[in-house]
């Protein structure tokens, strides 16, 4: 099969590169086409024979942006004789779902959010989801949470949806460098170093987390928090840090290429997001045998995290009090987080390894016969 991965970003995404490389090794010819210029993702998959391309446009006019991408996608599919298209992320999906009616290729729309569009205030995102759901013929979703959202809330027929967890070749992740890990530990030296990796958007609820950290610091707890990621909430969060004199306790470091060094240097991860599809950062933490605090009924956390066994699951609606009490117990060594990190590592490997997931795609990739 000639398989196209249609995506928006150039940044490394192990769940995507793992699939592309695995399909290539199965004997398929895989191509990657992105809306951004070539970058780390292209470089990674090219090593394994994946053909990479990009088509970059300025978004001065939304209509022209999407229409030109639509025409280019159809041209690319025809030129490269693509038989299957895996489209990823809403911006690509809105284009691909219209393109499917003008090509013989099978178009699979891969959704990477659960109820984000419905919780947010962006009406365009809600409209795009409705259009994609209505005219999309076939979907892949990474968790039961997303499946239930689409079927029970958004009214998509369940027969149109494949539930396939994200797949990872964990060998693709760079190993932490001891020197850099020690540097981070020394720079942010404290009794309990927490790490949050998430976009700075309202749905990730950094603000609530900062208030909890502030309360603990006021009680003389030697706790620090490193936040990796960027987004529209940055100014608000920076102001909170300044207003509460937390410059030496909470650090907004933006995007970092050496995420695994920061994970290895931290004691555990915290993510009280209220909306996820299948979060990769917590799985990456598990690779370094670090446990995590997450919220109930968010993404696929409930599918591999067992509360107080390999991680901690707190109330989604009002997480503050529970988070504060839990962090205080961890700080006071009442809970063994090392043991839980070991168990989370085992659970993530068993559930998300590419070797276990790749066979779930065989029914999609192997069932088509495309005539020349």
Q: What is the pLDDT of residues 333-344, one digit of tens each?
A: 999 999 999 999
Q: Which residues pair with 6 in a beta bridge?
A: 33, 87
What is the share, in percent, of the chain residues with pLDDT greater than 90? 90
The arithmetic mean of pLDDT across residues 254-278, rounded, is 95
The arithmetic mean of pLDDT across residues 252-279, rounded, is 96
Task: Indicate the pLDDT class of residue 369, thresholds 50, 70 and 90.
Answer: very low
Confidence (pLDDT) at 370: 35
pLDDT tens-digit series, residues 219-239: 999 999 999 999 999 999 999
Confidence (pLDDT) at 363: 84
Q: Where are the domains of the chain?
A: 2-169+353-365, 176-351
pLDDT tens-digit series, residues 97-154: 999 999 999 999 999 998 766 666 667 888 999 999 999 999 999 999 999 999 999 9
Lookup: tokens for 304: 């591999």
Distances (CA, A) of 89 to 93, 136, 293: 6, 14, 26
Rounded Cα gap, residues 68 and 71, in angstroms: 5
Confidence (pLDDT) at 39: 95
Task: Indicate the pLDDT class of residue 327, thresholds 50, 70 and 90.
Answer: very high
Confidence (pLDDT) at 138: 97
Q: The whole model's pTM is what?
A: 0.86
pLDDT tens-digit series, residues 41-67: 999 999 999 999 999 999 888 999 999
Confidence (pLDDT) at 121: 65
Rounded Cα gap, residues 22 and 14, in angstroms: 12
Task: Indicate the pLDDT class of residue 162, thresholds 50, 70 and 90.
Answer: very high
Q: Is it true that 2-169+353-365 and 176-351 share their CATH fold?
A: yes
Q: Among 34-38, 52-56, 117-121, 244-248, whose mean pLDDT is lowest? A: 117-121
Q: What is the CATH number of domain 2-169+353-365?
A: 3.40.50.2000
Confidence (pLDDT) at 125: 85
Confidence (pLDDT) at 117: 62
Confidence (pLDDT) at 120: 61
Rounded Cα gap, residues 57 and 92, in angstroms: 13
68-76, long-range: CB < 8 A, 24+ apart? 69/35, 69/95, 70/95, 70/98, 70/99, 73/6, 73/33, 73/99, 74/99, 74/102, 74/103, 76/4, 76/33
The arithmetic mean of pLDDT across residues 261-276, rounded, is 97
CA nearest neighbour of 100 among 70, 57, 133: 70
- The CATH class for the domain spanning 176-351 reads alpha beta
Confidence (pLDDT) at 368: 38
Confidence (pLDDT) at 115: 78
Give residues with Cβ within 8 angstroms of 244, minimum separation 6: 210, 214
């Amino acid at each position: 099969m000639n398989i196209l991965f249609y995506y928006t970003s150039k940044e490394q995404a192990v769940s995507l590169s793992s699939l592309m490389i695995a399909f290539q090794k199965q004997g398929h010819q895989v191509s990657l086409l992105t809306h951004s210029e070539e970058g780390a993702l292209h470089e990674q998959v090219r090593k394994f024979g994946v053909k990479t391309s990009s088509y970059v446009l300025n978004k001065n006019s939304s209509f022209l942006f999407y229409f030109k991408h639509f025409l280019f996608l159809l041209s690319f599919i025809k030129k490269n004789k693509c038989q299957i298209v895996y489209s990823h992320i809403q911006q690509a999906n809105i284009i691909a779902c219209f393109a499917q009616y003008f090509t013989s290729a099978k178009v699979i729309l891969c959704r990477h959010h659960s109820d984000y569009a419905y919780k947010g205030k962006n009406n365009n995102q809600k409209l795009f989801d409705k259009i994609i759901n209505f005219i999309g013929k076939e979907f892949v979703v990474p968790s039961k949470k997303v499946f239930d959202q689409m079927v029970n809330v958004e009214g998509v027929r369940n027969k149109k949806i494949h539930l396939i967890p994200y797949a990872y070749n964990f060998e693709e992740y760079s190993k932490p460098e001891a020197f850099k890990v020690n540097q981070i530990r020394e720079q942010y030296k404290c009794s309990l170093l927490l790490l949050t990796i998430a976009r700075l958007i309202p749905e990730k609820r950094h603000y609530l987390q900062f208030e909890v950290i502030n309360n603990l610091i006021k009680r003389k707890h030697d706790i620090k928090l490193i936040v990796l990621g960027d987004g529209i909430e940055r100014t608000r969060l920076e102001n909170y840090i300044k207003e509460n004199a937390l410059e030496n306790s909470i650090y907004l470091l933006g995007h970092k290429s050496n995420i695994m060094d920061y994970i290895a240097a931290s004691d555990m991860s915290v993510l009280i997001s209220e909306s996820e599809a299948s979060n990769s950062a917590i799985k990456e933490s598990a690779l370094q045998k670090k446990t995590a605090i997450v919220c109930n009924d968010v993404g696929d956390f409930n599918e591999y995290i067992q509360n107080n066994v390999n991680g901690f699951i707190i109330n989604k609606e009002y997480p503050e009090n529970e988070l504060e009490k839990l962090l205080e117990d961890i700080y006071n060594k009442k809970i063994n987080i090392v043991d839980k990190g070991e168990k989370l590592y085992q659970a993530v490997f068993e559930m998300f390894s590419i070797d276990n997931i790749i066979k779930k795609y065989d029914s999609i990739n192997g069932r088509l016969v495309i005539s020349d």
